[in-house]
Structure 1
Amino acid sequence: MTRIRDLAAKDVGRGSEVLMTFSRRDLFHAARLFATGAARRALVVTGFYIPGASSPAAESDGPVGAVEIASALRAMGGDAWLVSDEWCAPVVSAAAAGDVPDDHVLISPAGAGFDEWLASVGRLVRERGIDSLVYIERVGPSRDGDPRNMRGVNISRWTAPLSRLTELGLRTIGVGDGGNEIGMGRIDSLPIEDVVDHGERIACTVPTERLIISGTSNWGGHALVCSMRVMGHPELDPLLGDSWHRGVLRRVADAGGLDGVTMLNTPTVDGLSEERYYEEIRALSGLAR
């Protein structure tokens, strides 16, 4: 478990190895929550919109990990609903296709309809016995209340306030890699300010009970699934092969998803070469096996 945690946190330029030390036990506790059956029904929230790209869309980091977590819970006999907003909907829905049922993809509206939508999700939580809320690569409010990307740009115009799902009283887990994601309020903002560019402006103030910090958020989602595999769930083996990950990432790219660093429509993540990205996926899966 420690080797999986440390490998997933491998730094790609945003200080993840340093930030992980402030929540070093959280991967274990998050995995145990699901692996032991203490919780098995979750809302999995993702989608990070890139408005400054030549063809604006959601980025590729986050949706792959979200679909993997949701698929893992379903494979273990639980259930999961993917949640995003209307700006990220094309990419998140494409990522889910074939792995998560269409009626398990919940898309929030913009503007005045959000409160009504949130109330409907609350009813679903009560009716279906949903017990957990997982955020993966979902930007949240910074110190001034506005969500900001890694460049320090305010993107509230293109971001529904999905941090308000924490009002539903569920167990919460966050997965992030840069300091501006929901969950990062779990740790003090000072280390984020020290190791992340624009950290003082972008650090998210919304905490989660457990926080998984990784080099890319998709690696963090994979680390969570690999950790559940370690805890005795061989039914998760189909999610360990890099062919599964390539398939989801290809669907993301086909739907217009963008590499969050290059802002290009390619089946890559955070500016990493395919070789580097999948090397990590294979290494984490190897530890799990």
Structure 2
Amino acid sequence: MTKAMQYSPSRQGDRQSGVSHAGLGGAAHHGGIGPAARIASWRWKPRVAHIQNAAAADVGRGSETMMTFARGDLFRAARWLKTGGHRAMVVTGFYIPQAEHPAAESDGPVGAIELCEALRAIGSDAWLVSDEPCEPIIRAGASPRLPEDHVAIAPADAQGFDEWIDAMHGLSDRNNIDTVIYIERVGPARDGNPRNMRGFDIDQWTAPLSRLTGLGLHVIGIGDGGNEIGMGRLDSMVIEDVVEHGERIACTVPADELIVSGTSNWGGHALVCAMYAMGCRRIAPLLDISWHQSVLADVARAGGLDGVTMRNTPTVDGLSEERYYRQIRMMSDIARGRC
């Protein structure tokens, strides 16, 4: 995939289909802990709910409304992850083929890398997963922060992808991976094809990573616009009613928990902040603004795009730096008990 590639609508059918979602059912929602510990965990719920409200701050896509239909999922997802010992694939990457210089957007990779670092810091493990069109941006953000063998890149062609997904089954079995976290990863809409917020079919540039749900693992979805993997947890009517082009773009793939946020990076940070609020103090460095600025700068230097302006700037979804980092700082302060 090169920068010279030009955008044209795809009509390649539904290679994104064939998605299943087994999940772990009730045990997953309980976070793998016993009844007494579950009851005790509810002492964290008010603070986590405050973090969830901050993450869902609306930037024009109806995130606050959509979040109300998944209220409590941030708490359940954080409780599942905080116990330690979990091994996760963290999947991200949203390619923008119609930009002047096509590349992956900056929303998603920052939050995904943050989650990988958080899990590794508490004694769990994580693999960052994306596809070839997004690879330059993903590796630029990950290379100083994750081992090279913990970054998995899926090929864009169908035959290569089938072989790759078989290899991921092996990786999952060998490493006892039990969780898949999707953050700002577009998934199949009702017609089987992934569509961006403008309603364009981008199947040609999008490996069907939603097929990882077929591994039968616990699935957490993080998104901001209705077209991301995990949004199938919501009634499609909600997305259709509050999101422009919602009837065309709404992703049909569900998750065990769904975190809806104003930007997906905010959703990733909300999950990290919720884990911190629940006692995971080793992830404290990730609450500092400087960490986020550093990763976003690396992503931008590699050509990462603002998903709204489609320009190569160290910004996210058309927001000013002041507005974007204000929400990051607010969630960190809530997690620390400062507000």
Extract unaligned runs of 5+ from structure 1.
none
SS of residue matched to 1:23: coil
Q: Percent identity?
A: 67
The residue aligned with 1:201 is 248
The residue aligned with 1:139 is 186
The residue aligned with 1:5 is 52
Name the Cα RMSD after superposition: 0.6
The residue aligned with 1:272 is 319
Aligned counterparts of 1:36 and 1:81: Cα–Cα separation in 2: 18
SS of residue matched to 2:163: helix
Aligned counterparts of 2:308 and 2:148: Cα–Cα separation in 1: 29
User: CA offset at residue 36 of structure 1?
Assistant: 2.0
Aligned counterparts of 1:24 and 1:99: Cα–Cα separation in 2: 32
Indicate whether 1:239 and 2:286 are aligned.
Answer: yes
SS of residue matched to 2:130: strand
User: CA offset at residue 124 of structure 1?
Assistant: 0.6
Greater C-alpha radius of gyration: 2
Extract unaligned runs of 5+ from structure 2.
1-47
Aligned counterparts of 1:252 and 1:168: Cα–Cα separation in 2: 30
How many equivalent pairs are there? Answer: 288
The residue aligned with 1:159 is 206
Indicate whether 1:74 and 2:128 are aligned.
Answer: no
Match of 2:129, as an amino acid?
Answer: V
Match of 2:299, as an amino acid?
Answer: V
Aligned counterparts of 1:202 and 1:100: Cα–Cα separation in 2: 32
Match of 1:24, as an amino acid?
Answer: R
The residue aligned with 1:284 is 331
Give 4+ residue runs of structure 1 displaced > 3 Å after superposition: none
Query: Can you list the C-alpha shifts for 1:16-58, whole angstroms capped at 9, x where unaligned?
Result: 0000001001000000001123x52100000000000000000
When the two structures are superposed, what TM-score results if normalisation uses the length of structure 1? Answer: 0.99
User: CA offset at residue 7 of structure 1?
Assistant: 0.5
The residue aligned with 2:216 is 169
Aligned counterparts of 1:276 and 1:151: Cα–Cα separation in 2: 23
Indicate whether 1:62 and 2:131 are aligned.
Answer: no
When the two structures are superposed, what TM-score results if normalisation uses the length of structure 2? Answer: 0.84
Match of 2:112, as an amino acid?
Answer: A
Aligned counterparts of 2:227 and 2:137: Cα–Cα separation in 1: 21
* Pairing 1:211-230 to 2, within 5 Å after superposition: 211-230=258-277
Indicate whether 1:43 and 2:89 are aligned.
Answer: yes
SS of residue matched to 1:44: strand
The residue aligned with 1:88 is 134
Aligned counterparts of 1:58 and 1:90: Cα–Cα separation in 2: 8
